[in-house]
Structure 1
């Protein structure tokens, strides 16, 4: 219905261009025969579409399988798209005609002077061409409606076919045993005759081709098996010497052992089938039987290998589920038997089609298979396979698991005995095959979760090999583990979901069309989303990003290093190139992803007000960072002071600057603080700087002698520059000292600490040798007392009393 509504809207939009002028025209006396070029161009395509629709209509009447109906629907959807493209192709010409008719204007009313004949003829010609295009558009619209109705009818037929298959009830008459036995004997005779005749043909004419097909298939399987063991055999080899392998190691062994064993068998079977077909060894009826036989063998072997990898009764320390060895073997046999019976049911269905078996025999075989599968599942529910971690005793399944097993075991049995054979077969088949697929997907998800754990990847043999080969640290390995976890999850979903959909009855052609639609683009509102475009955008962004990083390194080490540029200039240029490259990569990636930059501009304009009020500080710091990189008031490695804090600049980014103090504390200072406040830079243009060392001496010393000694000490230090030469200032005369200040210049101010220490030690040693005193602060205190004698008398009496008291205590 939605498709019909969209098609009608397209037709109405195209017809709307005709109506305004058609109503205003006066019917001409004679319409010239006008041939529209666009109509002549599209007419063969319209005729071809008509023929296709007629053929599809005939095919729809004969289609009796879901696969045929699905393919027919895809063809009709392609036809519908062609019709829409044909309708759209008329739009440019309609636009041209409308523009020209606007220029010509309407015909003059009665009573007005007539217009030129050439104008009248052109108006009539354009109007006639529009009418012709209008007729073709109407024809196209009718065809589009017919196609959409056929698509809806096919969808309804598929739903009805699926419903009838599951809900059709067969009257089970248990008195027809003799008839079933007779039909079974006839089927055996028919199949024996077909297989015998084919085998005689092979032995007589194609035995060499048969041997060659088997030989080449065996070679392919052996190459895969031996090559897999030599290359990745360590990934799925269970080492008996490891008593408690990690969960990730057990998962890896289970996955790779199942994959390699199953893949070897599948490659052998698939290669054999392909070579038999290539050498024309198989007849069509035998080909379908062999195809089904090979599929069943591959699926049963896969289920068996998967169960063995998960339960692992022969090596309990490598099992994924804590199942006791003896019940584990029984459980593995039951699982393999269930898969085998389900596979035999598929083979029996193929034989029914080849031998045209009787309905009673078909029902009997399906009834037997579904009941047996249900009984095997119920037998699994009665098992006590789980092993207690402490005591080692066996215990039954959890209650929810037992109820689930009993339910899925009873459903096909009950459905079969009530005559719903189709439903019983569908349920039993889906239990086995979907169960195997879901268990495999679950193992994949568990593997992804285990890989993402901390230090998990580094603990595996593959992770250790990668770490040793590329010299990666633990943090990088953990990040690789997270990336590997995401890749595994995506891989499991991409492979698992299509397989489940195929098992549920969807056709591969349908899923291919869905994937193509999702990949190439689908519409959500006014936005067109394309996974291919998004992936292309991400890939281009990554490529330009890594190219920018490479170009930064090349520019820094190969160009700027040879130009003898200082580290600050190099860092500024490197940072600017990095941000420029990141911006270009983002623009290219967004454009390649199909995102309209004008829409982003509108969004940015709408957010500008909120950014202006809510992100003032961030924007201010960002702009300040750009100013710092451009003006370069300081650079990396400079010694700066701001806001009472001093240290060495370690990093300048667009938002903040990292400064490391001399106590090794990292300070992250917003860039706006440097722009709005004052900044002192000791090494702005060079590292030349002056160091002041204060010293005080006694008033008893000759100050000129002190001055000469300090000059001698300053000049003798090897790091003190001769030009400007050292200077000693007699800076102050204080209460207890005469203050001097030694001022020396250094080529590298970062050596100021060691130079000050050396000069101070030299001053102490030289002053000690010369007998020059470095005084400490002192003060004379004079007490003025008016009654000193009375105070002395009181103190003397108090001392005598205390002495007398101490004497009495001593005698006692």
Structure 2
């Protein structure tokens, strides 16, 4: 995973370099509280146009940012002063001995400085609150202005009034454009002067080299760097696509900002041209992003990079559309910016709305037609192009994609109808919003893929980090795969949240206001009586992940290092580890719920509500859970014990929350509810003594040599390696039953699990030695031995005489 820090450092250096280049100069000195308040008070109380709202909102945001920066810098100083005052201590109480005058003077000076600094911080925070409040009011006014403009009906382009209005306003609009043209010519003349010519030409040449050659070199360099440092797989593909798009935007931004800074430094830009130039720079950056995103998603030159599951034929049909989108965006954007700068007539604004709506819907409609073209409709020279497969049938589209394309086609028709009936502002807005929706969806699709590939390549069991986690913490492969899927899902949910904010912004908001609105959502939103804070949700998830990892490490340390050094039995060690795992899990969940904002009183309310369900149908589950805790605490049955429960006996392998696993002699596993061990009689063969006992009872004839039999039985027990020397084996003569001598041998083995096998071996040995010694066993009652002749029947007793 050494490639991650290097790539992060590379991207960070590129971003920092672009920021330094864009600034072009050192940061201005920090403003004071009085200056910030005076700037805020100087803001106009009312605005009339949308442009004025946008400008005023930007100034308010700048004041709020400076106030926050002031508070952050002064808070550190305030903490230092409080620490120094704490070192000096409190003033002596009345009647106490006086302290050193130097300490008194220092305390007084520090208190004065601390109070002044605290007052400045409070005033700066008040300025931040006032700026946010005024910004919210401006946004509300802007939305009202925008909604009023949208609902305003203008002359239809299909009627004569629309063209009459353009004809009437044409002379005045030409005069307004003349001033802009004169300013542009004056700037061009200034740029061609010998004192400025070389700098301007050099900046233009450098911008072209950076935008064209720089992009080409950066893309090829990133490909080679990715092949060298990134592991093969999906993450290399998605990360490389994001890196290419990001570097493309950064280089274009550097080129545009460099040219603008050069022109501005040489005084070439006039007031109107400067505003237009700033807008042009922002537009160029946006266009670079759209073109780079489209090329990255289609990846016609490198089909293996393509993230969307689209065939090559469709990707080739859509190849021109990123560039067309950029071109049409310029064509519909430049007139609107010029209208705002020169304060064009209402007829010019209406015409701009019509052109915007028709141009964007024409682009979208053409794209829909290309999507519906059959796979065989390729250019004539496509069959001979290297890397292009012959025409083939495209896979059937999912149903939801067909519905989506139909909805887009319906939206295009609605926009055309709105233009025809005169609602050109609404039509223009819908066309812009439809285009913006497609761009936002494409960008977030790329981020969705990257999030999934990132966690699958770093957390999943087959990844390098996943294998290290398996070795270090003992995580099961399935657990890591589930964690990778869960983390990927959480990341996608977070991205989807911000995508909805970008798509569902109020009418008339700009992309910059999207981030401001997302920050407002970051403070939380209320659903019923519960306050949902996105930051708290992610904090709770992080607490859960880190808490369970720490708990896993602690349990592994107990099992491998600490508990083996104690005098506890293995079963007791396993029970302690399991019990601590349950307690630690409850603590981690409680801390995570606290981080989520769910207090103890809410948990108690949930528990009381849950008790109703317990009373109806969860008694058995709760009973088994409590029984499991009792088993782990009192230790009547431990892991490793040999237990007999009814007709079942076997080894206790695991005690879970609800049930206990018992391994039987046939290697099968019996799942027994924990309540069975608490409410029923259980025989624990190894509770106090882990040794097993084997017992052999043999019937012998009455004429058997008892002493010889006892010696043979003892020798058979002593000669077996599994029989313990102490306690020593013993043979007793229990008595005579049914005309037979009953001998009983008792021996001990290390575990009850060995008793059955050892008993069989000893019994085989005894029978063999009895046969060698000529000691017969007694035949069972009713069985006649075939080796001896049958006994003659006894004479019948005489019949007693009959008495009268």
* TM-score range for the pair, normalised by the shorter chain length: 0.5 to 0.7
In structure 1, the residue matched to 2:583 is 580
* Alignment of structure 1 residues 4-83 onto 2, 5 Å: 58-60=45-47, 65-67=52-54
| Residue 546 of structure 1: how far off its partner (Å) | 3.2
In 1, Cα distance between equivalents of 2:36 and 2:597: 32
Deviations 1:493-527 (A, max 9, x none): 14423433569532567655654454334555655
* Alignment of structure 1 residues 552-591 onto 2, 5 Å: 552-591=555-594
Equivalent pair of 2:693/2:747 in contact (CA under 8 Å): yes
Q: 1:522 to 1:753 in 2, by over 3 A?
A: same
1:173 aligns with 2:163: yes
Deviations 1:689-726 (A, max 9, x none): 32112334455643332222112222222332333221
Q: Secondary structure at the match of 1:169?
A: coil
In structure 2, the residue matched to 1:648 is 651
| Residue 296 of structure 1: how far off its partner (Å) | 3.8
Aligned mate of 1:349, from 313, 336, 343: 336
Aligned residues, how many? 655
1:196 aligns with 2:179: no
Q: 1:492 to 1:71 in 2, by over 3 A?
A: same
In structure 2, the residue matched to 1:385 is 373
Aligned mate of 1:261, from 222, 244, 250: 244
Q: Secondary structure at the match of 2:724?
A: coil
Q: Secondary structure at the match of 1:646?
A: strand
Aligned mate of 1:532, from 532, 535, 539: 535
1:705 aligns with 2:708: yes
Q: Secondary structure at the match of 2:320?
A: helix
| Residue 619 of structure 1: how far off its partner (Å) | 3.1
In 1, Cα distance between equivalents of 2:147 and 2:191: 37
Q: 1:165 to 1:462 in 2, by over 3 A?
A: farther
Please identify, of 496-505 and 752-761, the stretch whose mean Cα deviation from structure 2 is larger.
496-505
Q: 1:459 to 1:553 in 2, by over 3 A?
A: closer
In 1, Cα distance between equivalents of 2:209 and 2:48: 44
Equivalent pair of 1:70/1:510 in contact (CA under 8 Å): no
In 1, Cα distance between equivalents of 2:181 and 2:51: 28
In structure 1, the residue matched to 2:223 is 229
Equivalent pair of 1:657/1:670 in contact (CA under 8 Å): yes
| Residue 264 of structure 1: how far off its partner (Å) | 1.7
In structure 1, the residue matched to 2:603 is 600
Deviations 1:428-460 (A, max 9, x none): 3233232122244456667889999xxxx5899
* Alignment of structure 1 residues 144-293 onto 2, 5 Å: 155=140, 158-165=143-150, 167-170=152-155, 171-173=161-163, 176=167, 179=170, 186=178, 189-190=181-182, 192-193=184-185, 195-197=187-189, 199-200=191-192, 203=196, 210=203, 214=207, 225=219, 228-233=222-227, 255-256=238-239, 258-273=241-256, 281=265, 283=269, 285-293=272-280
Bigger Rg, structure 1 or 2: 1
Q: 1:328 to 1:227 in 2, by over 3 A?
A: closer
* Alignment of structure 1 residues 202-601 onto 2, 5 Å: 203=196, 210=203, 214=207, 225=219, 228-233=222-227, 255-256=238-239, 258-273=241-256, 281=265, 283=269, 285-311=272-298, 320=308, 322=310, 325=313, 328-334=315-321, 336-355=323-342, 364=351, 367-383=354-370, 384-387=372-375, 392=392, 404=407, 406-416=409-419, 419-442=422-445, 457=456, 464-467=463-466, 470=469, 474-501=477-504, 505-507=508-510, 511=514, 514-522=517-525, 527-601=530-604
| Residue 743 of structure 1: how far off its partner (Å) | 0.8
Equivalent pair of 1:324/1:385 in contact (CA under 8 Å): no
In 2, Cα distance between equivalents of 1:576 and 1:630: 8
Deviations 1:651-677 (A, max 9, x none): 223433222112222222222222222
In 2, Cα distance between equivalents of 1:489 and 1:206: 47
TM-score, reference length from structure 1: 0.66
| Residue 637 of structure 1: how far off its partner (Å) | 0.9
Q: Secondary structure at the match of 2:627?
A: helix
In 1, Cα distance between equivalents of 2:459 and 2:542: 29
In 1, Cα distance between equivalents of 2:355 and 2:230: 39
In 2, Cα distance between equivalents of 1:685 and 1:77: 74
Please identify, of 761-770 and 492-501, the stretch whose mean Cα deviation from structure 2 is larger.
492-501
| Residue 541 of structure 1: how far off its partner (Å) | 4.6
Please identify, of 258-267 and 363-372, the stretch whose mean Cα deviation from structure 2 is larger.
363-372
| Residue 368 of structure 1: how far off its partner (Å) | 4.3
RMSD: 5.2
Aligned mate of 1:756, from 756, 759, 776: 759
Q: 1:150 to 1:609 in 2, by over 3 A?
A: closer
1:634 aligns with 2:637: yes
Q: 1:209 to 1:700 in 2, by over 3 A?
A: farther
Q: 1:707 to 1:209 in 2, by over 3 A?
A: same
Equivalent pair of 1:458/1:477 in contact (CA under 8 Å): no
Please identify, of 700-709 and 302-311, the stretch whose mean Cα deviation from structure 2 is larger.
302-311
| Residue 338 of structure 1: how far off its partner (Å) | 3.9
Equivalent pair of 2:50/2:145 in contact (CA under 8 Å): no
| Residue 644 of structure 1: how far off its partner (Å) | 2.2
In 2, Cα distance between equivalents of 1:379 and 1:235: 41
In structure 1, the residue matched to 2:32 is none
Equivalent pair of 1:273/1:291 in contact (CA under 8 Å): no
* Alignment of structure 1 residues 670-749 onto 2, 5 Å: 670-698=673-701, 701-731=704-734, 733=736, 738-749=741-752
In 2, Cα distance between equivalents of 1:191 and 1:285: 8
Q: 1:367 to 1:150 in 2, by over 3 A?
A: closer
In 2, Cα distance between equivalents of 1:459 and 1:514: 32
In structure 1, the residue matched to 2:120 is none
| Residue 639 of structure 1: how far off its partner (Å) | 1.0
In the alignment, structure 1 segments of 5+ residues that lack a partner are 1-47, 79-143, 240-247, 785-812
In 2, Cα distance between equivalents of 1:461 and 1:592: 27
Equivalent pair of 2:460/2:466 in contact (CA under 8 Å): no
In 1, Cα distance between equivalents of 2:632 and 2:443: 55
